[in-house]
């Protein structure tokens, strides 16, 4: 049960940040694919040796023997994690927190739509925007790979990698969505709804540096994306199921809380 009118309004609300984030990710994707060359590989391996901690923190470690492994190393440790996260924070603020913080939620309820209908629409819109973002990025990656290096990209593994990344980003979006449904002010949302995902992301970066800090990977949601294993052709079914279950719990909890909270209307 959703509001089609509100869903259409969400398109105008989120189109600009979507296009901006997509443009940045698309640019990096094309550049990384273009750099798939033995000379660049040697140069980046030298960076790994000279700045091991910095490169490890950004997830850019390892030696690529194929285009899919190259993309996984230099895109999915940092770029494909950070920029979708920025989009999630902005999007959830616009779709949920903005209405609550400004008091505009009263206007939505005055249209005759129930709380459940409104929040379910915004939850669906959040998921659809993430699907659209990852879908557009996937198309850009396949096109650039086939254009610059015909026959080099393992499309099947690339699709699996991006589907798993999508599940991760939806779970992260669910966390921000839940925080937006709980918080009453934007400053609280940015502290928790943006702060927690950013903290998880930083913990993942720190854990990549290894040694004693490696145990931090057990406390962040980003560990559930086995990008390296997927690029190598290994399975990821368990991690994907966990991410989907987590996403359903987070979005479901957000919807449940929103229906029962005091909106101060």
**Per-residue confidence in pLDDT tens, the chain, 265 aa:** 788 888 899 999 999 999 999 999 999 999 999 888 756 666 666 656 666 555 555 556 667 778 998 899 889 988 999 999 999 999 999 999 988 887 777 778 777 778 899 999 999 999 999 999 999 999 999 999 999 999 889 999 999 999 999 999 999 999 999 999 998 888 999 999 999 999 998 888 887 776 677 788 778 899 999 888 898 888 788 999 999 999 999 999 999 999 887 775 5
Crossing angle of the two packed helices 115-148 and 155-182, in degrees rounded to 10:
150
233-239 — which CB contacts under 8 Å span 24+ positions?
A: 233/157, 236/160, 236/164, 239/164
What pTM was computed for the model? 0.91
Predicted pLDDT at 41: 62
Q: What pLDDT is attached to residue 137?
A: 96
pLDDT of residue 253: 96
pLDDT of residue 246: 97
């Amino acid at each position: 049960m959703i509001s089609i009118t509100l869903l259409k309004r969400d398109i105008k609300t989120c189109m600009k940040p979507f296009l901006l984030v997509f443009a940045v990710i698309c640019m990096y994707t094309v550049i990384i694919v273009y750099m798939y060359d033995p000379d660049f590989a040697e140069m980046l391996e030298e960076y790994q040796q000279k700045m091991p901690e910095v490169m490890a923190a950004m997830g850019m470690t390892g030696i690529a023997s194929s285009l899919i492994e190259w993309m996984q190393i230099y895109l999915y440790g940092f770029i494909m994690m950070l920029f979708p996260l920025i989009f999630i924070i902005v999007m959830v603020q616009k779709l949920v927190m903005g209405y609550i913080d400004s008091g505009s939620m009263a206007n939505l309820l005055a249209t005759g739509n129930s709380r459940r209908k409104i929040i379910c629409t915004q939850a669906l819109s959040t998921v659809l925007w993430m699907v659209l973002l990852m879908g557009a990025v996937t198309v850009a990656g396949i096109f650039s790979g086939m254009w610059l290096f015909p026959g080099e990209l393992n499309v099947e593994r690339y699709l699996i990698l991006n589907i798993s990344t999508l599940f991760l980003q939806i779970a992260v979006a669910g966390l921000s969505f839940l925080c937006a449904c709980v918080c009453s002010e934007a400053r609280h949302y940015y502290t928790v709804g943006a702060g927690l995902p950013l903290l998880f992301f930083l913990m993942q970066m720190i854990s990549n540096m290894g040694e004693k800090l490696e145990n931090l990977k057990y406390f962040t949601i980003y560990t559930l994306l086995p990008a390296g294993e997927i690029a190598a052709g290994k399975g990821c079914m368990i991690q994907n199921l966990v991410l989907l279950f987590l996403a359903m719990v987070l979005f479901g909890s957000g919807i449940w809380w929103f229906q029962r909270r005091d909106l101060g209307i």
